[in-house]
Amino acid sequence: MIPVGEFRNLGSEQNQKFRVLKPWWDVFSEYLCIAMLMIGVFGCTLQLTQDKITCLPSHFTSPTPEAIDCGYIRNYRENETLLVKPPENPIIREVVGRKNNLDIHQYVFVNYYCYERFVHWYAKYFPYLVVIHTMIFMVASSFWFKFPGTSSKIDLFVTILGKCFDSPWTTRALSEVSEERGEEKLVSWRRNTMTRDRIDEEETTGLLLRSSSVKSNPEKKSPEPQPSLSALDKKEGEQAKALFEKVKKFRTHVEEADLLYVMYVLQTSLKVFKFLLIIIYTAVLVPNIELAYCYICFVGVMDFCASTPLLAVHRPLKEYSFEQVRLETGINDIPDVKNDFAFLLHLVDQYDALYSKRFAVFLSEVSESRLHQLNLNHEWTAKKLRARLAKNASNRLELHLSMLPGLPDTVFEIPEVESLKLEQVKNVTIPASVAKLDSLLELSLVYCPTKLSCLL
């Protein structure tokens, strides 16, 4: 016999890995399948280990078996005071004395003969049918996790999703955006306050002083954001960069087709059809075994759970909008996705919407550019840049940077620079922090696409 523990552990590792892609209806159906499987295994065990039926010889005999009326004899014995007279020439007589002299093997033969002759086939094979149907349900529920055309995509998506959720860059990006939104609200509040005509001059001056103190006094600033700037080390930055590349490739690959969506709908339709078939034939044969009523209730609940995703098909499951995520996080450049990518994210939302929110960080180009800048700063530290300082032809202390993927922010931490020469540097942005270079007299740009940020 197969131990029950083997059935309990069936697919446990797979369930833990793909739990993020199992909505509540799939999880509930899975628990019902486990309960039905245990009932079926228990029934099969009893069917194999216990005697199937015990046949006893009748106390009454007659040349014509259809003439035997056991009810008449029972009534005659139970109530002898009643004036019920038996027929003068009864054709039914009670057998007395030694009823039989059979061997034990003959008794076994009679039992099996009665079992095969008089017990309905549905009662015989009911436990086996329960086990077989339950195994089919479990296979159908997880078929798309094993099918070659879908298993690789699902496995890759779950792996990337988990890494994005646990990545330190996700926490950092969301916290930075939250801080920026707080500063924007402060600036907006200050501007609205300044434009109110009903506020007198003293109150306006006080608000401006308080606002400027928040901006200029470092002692009143919250010390938490500053440590977070160095919380992401070089290794974590490289891992986050690799995640951005994986997400891009996965999105390009998955958005091309809707195989996952079609496979999920097909396997769900198969389960619903099988549930309906079981309910129909069980309802017809239920008089042969009363336990089938309980089985119908189980199957009916599972049929409802399996029908739930089909009822939701009318929703645009092949389109996913990050509008709510954009509003909550403030990352406005998160693109909407479609096809299988959108369908996977819909399933993830049924498990926990936080996964989609943190995953969306790696779909943002702004977030990627910030990570790119951070990695660039880790690579080009202020100490490394100072080592490249040299006197130019004009006898000025020059910092010459060539063919870099961007302009490191650490450049503006070297106030002694008098000449800054950038040659073939990509995506150069001159920030407001350029004002820190008090000694800067010369700025040279050679084949560098450049833009200026707001210096106010």
Residue 380: CA count within 13 A, CB half-sphere: 23
* Same-domain check for residues 325 and 435: no
- Report yes or no on 286 lying in a domain: yes
* Whether residue 36 is found in the same domain as residue 90: no
Judged by phi (left if over 0) then psi (alpha if -120 to 50, else beta), residue 421 lies in beta
- Answer whether residue 41 is part of any domain: yes
Is 372 strand, coil or helix?
helix
Does some domain include residue 193? Answer: no
Report helix, strand or coil for 89: coil
Q: Evaluate whether residue 196 is within a structural domain.
A: no
Identify whether residues 324 and 419 lie together within a single domain.
no
Radius of gyration of the chain (CA): 40
pLDDT number for residue 159: 92
pLDDT number for residue 168: 85
Number of structural domains found in the chain = 4
| pLDDT attached to residue 454 | 52
Q: Does one domain contain both 386 and 446?
A: yes
Q: Which domain holds residue 409?
A: 381-452
Q: Which two structure tokens, joined as six digits, stand for 121?
A: 């086939």
- What pLDDT does residue 158 have? 92
Close Cβ partners of 373 (under 8 Å, ≥ 6 residues apart): 406, 408, 409
Q: Return the exposure string of 274-303: e unless at least 16 CB atoms fall within 10 Å of the residue's CB, then b.
A: bbeebeeebeeeeeebeebeebbebbeebb
Same domain? 175 vs 41 = no
On whether both 375 and 389 belong to a single domain, the answer is: no
d(CA 59, CA 69): 12
Q: What is the pTM of this model?
A: 0.67
Query: Is 248 found in the same domain as 329?
Result: yes
146 domain-assigned: yes
Digitized pLDDT (tens) for each residue of the chain, 456 residues in all: 455 555 455 445 556 778 888 888 888 888 888 888 888 888 888 777 776 666 666 655 666 655 555 554 445 445 554 444 555 555 555 555 545 666 777 777 877 788 788 778 888 888 888 889 888 888 888 888 888 888 889 999 999 999 988 888 888 877 766 555 544 444 444 455 455 544 445 444 444 434 443 333 444 343 333 333 345 677 888 888 889 999 999 998 898 888 998 898 888 888 888 888 888 888 888 887 787 788 888 788 887 777 776 665 556 788 888 888 888 877 888 888 999 999 999 989 888 888 988 898 898 888 888 888 888 888 888 888 888 888 888 888 888 888 888 888 888 888 888 888 888 888 787 877 787 888 888 888 888 877 776 544
In a domain, 410, yes or no: yes
Same domain, 446 and 397: yes
Q: Both 371 and 323 in a single domain?
A: yes
Same domain, 288 and 415: no
Give yes or no: residues 240 and 176 share one domain: yes
220 located within any domain: no
pLDDT for the residue 112: 79
**73 and 164: one domain?**
no
Evaluate whether residue 223 is within a structural domain.
Answer: no
